[in-house]
Amino acid sequence: MDFLEKLKKELKEIKNKNLYRERVILPEDVIDFSSNDYLGLKDDLETKKAVCENISRLSVGSGASALISGYTQVQRELEEFIAHFKKTESCLVVGSGYLANTGLLQALATEEDIIFSDQLNHASIIDGVRLSKAKKIIYRHNNMNDLEDKLKKTNCRGTKFIVTDGVFSMEGDIVNYRELKTLADRYRAVIIIDDAHSTGILGGGRGTLFHFGMEPEGNVIQVGTLSKAAGSYGAFICGSKTLIEYLINRMRTQIFSTALSPLQNFVSLVNMKKLSQEAFRREKLFRLTRFLVKKAKDAGIPIRYYGTPILTLIVEEEKKALFVRDYLLKNRLFVQAIRPPTVPKKSSRLRITISYKHTENDINLLLKCLKTALESYHG
């Protein structure tokens, strides 16, 4: 069998298992309930106006990596703002959340170290652990008893790292950070917390630590993205000046990647300032989320809610998830079907995300169509 025939065969198997994926361009009139644009900033008119007013002075590309000639004044301003916002000494902005997590773990963890990783961490964390030279130990999802048992039983010549999402992207639940920090202090571990879905949302927008009324300490590294609540693109790592200096010198995904463009960093800076100042966006977001949860409960739709704008409707079967997705799309609603390997087998779902841009009428339409789709499916 030649190479292309092999690929065709594998694609056929993927389709037969209802796991085939393709990119779609949504019609303009579709109401999107799958975007991570929680605060409605990706199309913000004030941001667009600021871009137009400053475009003549902003390069559309950086031209090189940050260590060659791609580091610019606007990136420095962005890093200084994020560091202040997250209440840390320093910050490093990189190309994406994937580059941040894989590069950070590979740079920090050696063969003498151990990484304790939550069972449901994002794929970028999983791949970062694999790329590192450290020993890997998986603990049950958000289970602090299991984590402590593994910390207690494991001897380590180097550093113990605990890495976790702040808000888990496919569940919408929040890490038990207060207990996790207690364990990290007790067993002298370093915490790496990915605030991709927490930044802009929890803790007044500052993230998971602040949601729990806590602030960063020396054994805590905060990672986050600029592509979700901030409505832009890129990612950041926040920590001590020593940590950031080390990463600038050792983090391969930063050293060998072209820096983000000044134009992109400008958008991020404008939107980060907006999300830090405009609490009304979060207030409306959570009001709409609670509205949907109550209406879904009244309608008998078993949506899971953990206090964040990420809601899940578990349907188990891949085929059923696709049926519901397609039915909704016919009614101008988009909710993506999430299937293995993104989520475990038998847990295919509709992942619903609420945005500041939604209305109560949008939500009422979604629930009406969801109920009809679920009742119409016959396997």
- What six digits make up the tokens of 78? 């962005």
Contact 101, 80 (CB under 8 A): no
Does a structural domain hold residue 218?
yes
| Bridge partner residues of 93 (DSSP) | 236
Predicted pLDDT of residue 226: 98
Contacts of 201 (CB under 8 A, 6+ apart): 38, 39, 167, 229, 282, 285, 308, 309
| Whole-structure pTM value | 0.95
Of 262, 277, 292, the residue that ends a domain is 277
3-state DSSP helix/strand/coil % of the chain, to nearest 5: 45, 15, 40
Domain extent for 367:
19-39+279-376
Residue 202: φ, ψ to 5°: -90, 160
Three-state SS sequence of 291-328? HHHHHHHHCCCCCECCCCCEEEEEEECHHHHHHHHHHH
C-alpha distance across the termini of the chain, in Å: 35
Contact 138, 119 (CB under 8 A): yes
Asked whether residue 162 falls in the same domain as residue 50, the answer is yes
Asked whether residue 178 falls in the same domain as residue 316, the answer is no
Asked whether residue 136 falls in the same domain as residue 113, the answer is yes
- Across 92-103, b (16+ Cβ under 10 Å) vs e yields bbbbbbbbbbbb
What is the number of structural domains in the chain? 2
Predicted pLDDT of residue 378: 86
Series of mean pLDDT values for 10-residue runs along the chain (379 residues): 93 94 92 98 98 96 96 98 98 98 97 97 96 96 98 94 97 97 97 98 98 96 98 98 98 97 98 98 98 97 97 95 96 95 91 98 98 92
Predicted pLDDT of residue 1: 72
Does a structural domain hold residue 367?
yes
